[in-house]
Amino acid sequence: MATFVPFVAGVVTGVVSKWGVDQYLARRKNNADPTIDAPAPKSQEPVVLEDLKRVSGIGPSYSGLLNQAGILNLADLASETPERLHEIVKSVRIDEVADWISQAKELSQAPVKA
């Protein structure tokens, strides 16, 4: 019986996975939008990744979440609204993310120490 349960679970997982792939491919085949498969346009200016952990309260986890949301540097962080940041990092109070924004504005204007 102990070997049977993992076998059944593996078969069910494989069936569900195949079903999901089939559904994705069918939707993609039926999609008439040519921009779906088009590569994203490359920016003319290089994006500078800054260490968002310079902001007090942002550690590696929050920095990663912000990067995934397209906030790659202090200028990006400084231009965000507290509401949007709170949507990205739900576990942080809105007044704390507002403080992150003000810190980012100050740090983006300060010279970077080498």
User: Model confidence over 70-91: pLDDT tens digits?
Assistant: 999 999 999 999 999 999 999 9
In this prediction, residue 96 carries a pLDDT of 96
Q: Is the pLDDT of residue 16 over 70?
A: no
Bigger pLDDT: 96 or 1? 96
DSSP letter at 54 equals G
In this prediction, residue 47 carries a pLDDT of 52
- Residue 109 pLDDT level (bands cut at 50, 70, 90): confident
* Phi, psi values for residue 41, rounded to 5°: -65, 140
User: Rounded to the nearest 5 degrees, what angle is found at the Cα of 44, between the Cα atoms of 39 and 87?
Assistant: 65
Mean pLDDT of the chain: 74
Residue range 58-72, pLDDT digits in tens? 998 999 899 999 999
Measured distance CA(58)–CA(66) in Å, rounded:
10
- Hey, what are 39's tokens? 């590569």
